Amino acid sequence: MPFARALAGWGSRRALVHGARTVSYADLARLVEERARRLGTERRLVLLEMASDVESVVTYLAALAGAHPVVVVDAARPDVVAATRAAYDVDVVARGAEIEERRAGTAHDLHPELAVLLSTSGSTGSPRLVRLSAENLQANAESIAAYLPLREDDLAALSLPLHYCYGLSVLHSHLLRGAGVLMSEASVVDPCFWAAAREHGATSLAGVPHTFELLERVGLETVAPDSLRYLTQAGGAMAPERVRTYAEIGQRRGFDLFVMYGQTEATARMAYLPPDLAATRPGAVGVPVPGGRFDLLEVPGAPAGTGELVYEGPNVMLGYAEHPRDLADGRELTRLRTGDLARRADDGLWEIVGRLSRTAKVLGLRIDLDRVERALVDTGARALVAGTAPVDGAAERVVVAVEPRARGGAARLRARVRRQVVDLTGLPAAAVDVHAVEALPRLATGKPDHRAVAALGTPRPAAPLQGDPPAAPRTVRDVLGGVLGRRVGDDDTFAGLGGDSLTYVETSLQLEEVLGHLPADWHLRTVADLQAGAGARARRGRSLETNVVLRAVAIVAVVGTHANLLTLLGGAHLLLALAGFNLARFALGDVSRRDRARALVAAAARVAVPAVAWIGGAALLLGAYPWPTVLLVNGFVGPPGWTEPAWHHWFLEALVLLVLVVAALVSVPALDRAERRWPFWFPVALTLVALLPRYELVWLPEGDVIHRAPVVAWLLTLGWAVARARTTPHRLVVSALAVATVPGFFGDDARSAAVVVGLLLLTWSRQVRLPGPLARVVATLAGASLYIYLTHWQVYPHLEVDHPALATLLSLVVGVAVWRVAQHLERHLRRVGANVALTRPRYPADPAQMSR
Length of the chain: 852
> What is the pLDDT of the chain when averaged over all its residues?
84
Nearest-CA neighbor of 433 among 486, 480, 493, 358? Answer: 486
> In which band, very low, low, confident or very high, does the pLDDT at 770 lie, cut at 50, 70 and 90?
confident
pLDDT at 847: 26
What integer pLDDT is reported at residue 537 of this predicted model? 45
- End-to-end Cα, the chain, rounded Å: 38
Report the pLDDT value the prediction gives residue 486, as an integer from 0 to 100.
Answer: 61
Convert 29-43 into a string of H (helix), E (strand) and C (coil): HHHHHHHHHHHCCCC
**Partner residues linked to 114 by β-bridges:** 133
Q: What's the gap between Cα 324 and its chain centre?
A: 41
- Judged against a pLDDT cut of 60, whether residue 851 lies above it is answered with no
* Closest of 511, 452, 524 to residue 481, by C-alpha: 511
Q: What pLDDT, on a 0 to 100 scale, did the predictor assign at position 16?
A: 95
Give buried/exposed letters for 136-152 (b at 16+ CB in 10 A, else e).
Answer: bbbbbbbbbbebbebee
Segment 115-152, tens digit of pLDDT: 999 987 544 456 789 999 999 999 999 999 999 999 99
In this predicted model, what pLDDT tens digit does every residue of 454-468 receive, in sequence order? 888 755 433 333 334
Residue-level pLDDT at 836: 38
If you average pLDDT over residues 604-621, what whole number do you get?
A: 93
485-513 average pLDDT score? 67
- Domains of the chain, each with CATH number or no CATH: 2-355 (3.40.50.12780), 359-455 (3.30.300.30), 476-539 (1.10.1200.10), 548-771 (no CATH)
What is the helix (H) or strand (E) element at residue 721, kind and residue range?
Answer: helix 709-724
Whether 383 contacts 374, CB under 8 Å: no
Residue 611 reports pLDDT greater than 80: yes
Backbone phi and psi for residue 343, each to the nearest 5 degrees, phi listed first:
-150, 160
Distance CA 386, CA 376 (A): 13
Per-residue pLDDT averaged across 712-734, rounded?
A: 92
The closest alpha carbon to 666, from 581, 726, 583, 737, belongs to 583
DSSP bridge pairs for 257: 231
Backbone φ and ψ for 92, nearest 5 degrees, come out as -135, 140
Note the pLDDT of residue 361.
73
Q: Is the pLDDT of residue 800 over 80?
A: yes
Read off the pLDDT of each residue in 324-330 and give the average, rounded to a whole number: 93
- Decide if pLDDT at 792 tops 90: yes
Average pLDDT over every residue of 495-506: 65
**Residues 577 and 556: beta-carbon distance below 8 Å:** no
User: Who contacts 195 (Cβ-Cβ below 8 Å, separation ≥6)?
Assistant: none
Mean pLDDT of the 288-295 span? 95
**What is d(CA 306, CA 299) in angstroms, rounded to the nearest whole number?**
8
* Sheet containing strand 383-387, strands side by side: 383-387, 398-402, 432-436
Q: What is the mean pLDDT of residues 41-69?
A: 94
Q: What is the pLDDT of residue 134?
A: 93
Residue 753 has pLDDT above 60, yes or no: yes
Return the H-helix or E-strand segment holding 735.
helix 728-741
Give the span between the Cα atoms of 84 and 72, in whole angstroms.
Answer: 10
Q: Are 52 and 75 in contact (CB under 8 A)?
A: no
What percent of the chain is predicted at pLDDT more than 90?
Answer: 49
The answer to whether 272 and 287 have CB atoms below 8 angstroms apart is: yes
What's CA 803's distance to the chain center, in Å? 52
One-letter amino acid of 696: E
Quick check: 246 and 220 in contact, CB under 8 A? yes
- Beta pairing class for 129-133 and 114-119: antiparallel
CA angle 166, 168, 171 (to 5 degrees): 115
Kindly indicate the confidence band of residue 345, based on its pLDDT and cuts at 50, 70 and 90. Answer: very high
**Average pLDDT estimate for 376-392:** 76
Residue 480's pLDDT is what?
A: 76
pLDDT tens-digit readout, 217-265: 778 888 889 999 999 999 888 888 889 999 999 998 899 999 999 999 9
For 751, phi then psi, to 5°, come to -65, -45
Cβ-defined contacts of 9-13 (< 8 Å, 24+):
9/178, 10/152, 10/178, 13/152, 13/178, 13/179, 13/180
Model confidence at 795: pLDDT above 70: yes
Summarised one tens digit per residue, pLDDT across range 465-487 is 333 444 344 588 777 776 766 66
Which helix (H) or strand (E) is 26 found in, with range? helix 25-39
CB 253 within 8 A of CB 225: no
Between 305 and 444, where is the model more confident?
Answer: 305
CA-CA-CA-CA torsion sign (196, 198, 204, 205): positive
Q: Which of 18-27, 285-294, 541-550, 708-717 has the lowest mean pLDDT?
A: 541-550
**Other C-beta atoms lying within 10 Å of the C-beta of residue 532:** 13
Contact 401, 440 (CB under 8 A): yes
Q: Which one has a higher pLDDT value, 685 or 422?
A: 685
Is the model more confident about 409 or about 663?
663
> DSSP letters of 327-380?
GG-----SEEEEEEEEEE-TTS-EEEEEESSSEEEETTEEEEHHHHHHHHHHTT
At 509 the pLDDT is 66
Please state the rounded mean pLDDT for residues 267-271.
93
Say if residues 362 and 398 touch (Cβ distance below 8 Å): yes
pLDDT in tens, 72-131: 998 888 888 888 888 899 999 999 899 999 998 899 999 999 999 998 754 445 678 999
- Quick one: average pLDDT of 828-846? 40
The most confident of the ranges 84-98, 367-381, 463-477, 491-505 is 84-98
pLDDT of residue 520: 60
Q: How far is CA 99 from CA 48, 68, 110, in A?
A: 9, 14, 20
Decide: 547 and 581 in contact? Cβ < 8 Å. yes
Residue 360 confidence class, pLDDT cut points 50, 70, 90? confident
**Residue 444 pLDDT grade (very low, low, confident, very high; cuts 50, 70, 90):** very low
Q: What is the model's pLDDT at position 104?
A: 87
Helix (H) or strand (E) holding 3: helix 2-5
Cβ-based neighbours of 624, under 8 Å, separated by 6 or more: 618, 645, 793, 794
pLDDT 10s digits, 518-565: 666 676 677 777 776 665 444 555 667 888 899 999 999 999 999 999
Using CA atoms, how far apart are residues 387 and 796, in angstroms rounded to an integer?
54
Q: What pLDDT does 259 receive?
A: 96
pLDDT in the model for residue 450: 79
